[in-house]
Amino acid sequence: MIRTGRLKSKAMRILWKNKFLVWNLAALIFIKVFFSYSGLQFASLVDSLATFSKEEVISQTNTLRQNLGLGILKENPVLDVAALQKLQDMIQNQYFAHSSPAGVSPWYWMDTNQYKYNYAGENLAIGFLTAKDTVDAWANSPSHRENLLNSNYKEIGIAIAPAKIANSQGFLVVQLFGTPKPTVPSKTIAQTRPPIKTPDATPIAISLSPKEPVISKIDNISSRFNKITQIFNATFILYALAAFLFSIVLLSLYGLKRASAIRTATSFAILILAVAIPVLQTTHTALII
């Protein structure tokens, strides 16, 4: 037992004196643990600092419409209020869907605020970092795109707030579309002959999208950080391989000495660890519905 302890102690002294191996171990720990953990923290920091406004969402929506020859949507403060109330209800009751668990539809919030409409629609999103990411995700979904590019819509309302709903976290966005019913001029009331009444247009809710949220992976700073981490990891694996081969060369040149044997064995162990231990990856997903 005493001899074994002395051998271990001597091996540790050899490793400590060999700065080459010490730096290799330090690099392994840095890339596999510290660098990856920092990436997770960095991604969380980026997500927490991300912010965008309803004006940006409206601008991105109208830019998309204009590029396709459609008229722009005018922001309506009543729709803004309805969107905000829907957003607050989702946060309070912890759901991400067009209809609440209690069965409250999106049109309830329009009706509550006395917004009379012929056409109405709704898009929802959570977890995106920018207004462009949000609108792009909607535009890439057929049902949401139908709302964005519906020529019947004339007005828009937006509400945005940070939220955590179940496993989804980030900015929650409610986008409401509407076409108000035309107002009847008061002078028609005084006509001797009453006008012929036509049936009111049936309110149409265009594309409430799939019942299940659609996962959208977005290209953001987190994914770019992952690429940097992967490059560092691959570079270190190649470096560890070169160090191991170099140790074998030294071993063959100078013979089987204790120091060179320990150096070679340690280099091999570092190479195995570099290949076997995965690097933590930061992921960011967002949802639309």
Whole-number pLDDT of residue 200: 39
Any idea where the domains of the chain sit in the sequence? 11-44+222-288, 53-218
Helix, strand, or coil here: 37? helix
Q: Name the pTM for this structure.
A: 0.61
Q: Which of 287, 251, 283, 289 is nearest to 268 (CA)?
A: 251
Q: What is the pLDDT of residue 279?
A: 59
Q: How far is CA 229 from CA 27, 32, 38, 239, in A?
A: 13, 9, 10, 15
Token pair belonging to 203? 């309110």
pLDDT for position 129: 83
Give exposure, 42-76, as e/b (b: 16+ Cβ within 10 Å): ebeebbeebebebebbbebbbebbeeeeeeebeeb
Output the tens digit of pLDDT for each of the chain's 289 residues. 445 545 445 545 544 456 666 777 777 777 666 555 545 444 454 454 456 889 999 999 999 999 999 999 999 999 999 999 999 999 999 999 999 999 999 999 999 999 999 999 999 999 888 899 899 999 999 989 999 999 999 999 999 999 989 888 888 999 999 999 987 655 544 444 444 333 333 444 444 555 555 555 444 444 555 666 677 777 777 877 887 787 788 777 776 676 667 777 777 777 777 777 765 555 556 788 8
| pLDDT given for residue 119 in this prediction | 93
Predicted pLDDT at 18: 60
Within 8 A by CB and 6+ apart from 135, the residues are 57, 60, 61, 64, 148
The separation between CA 160 and the C-alpha centre of its own chain, rounded to angstroms, equals 15
CATH number attached to the domain at 53-218: 3.40.33.10
pLDDT at 168: 84
Residue 4: count of CB within 10 angstroms of its CB: 8
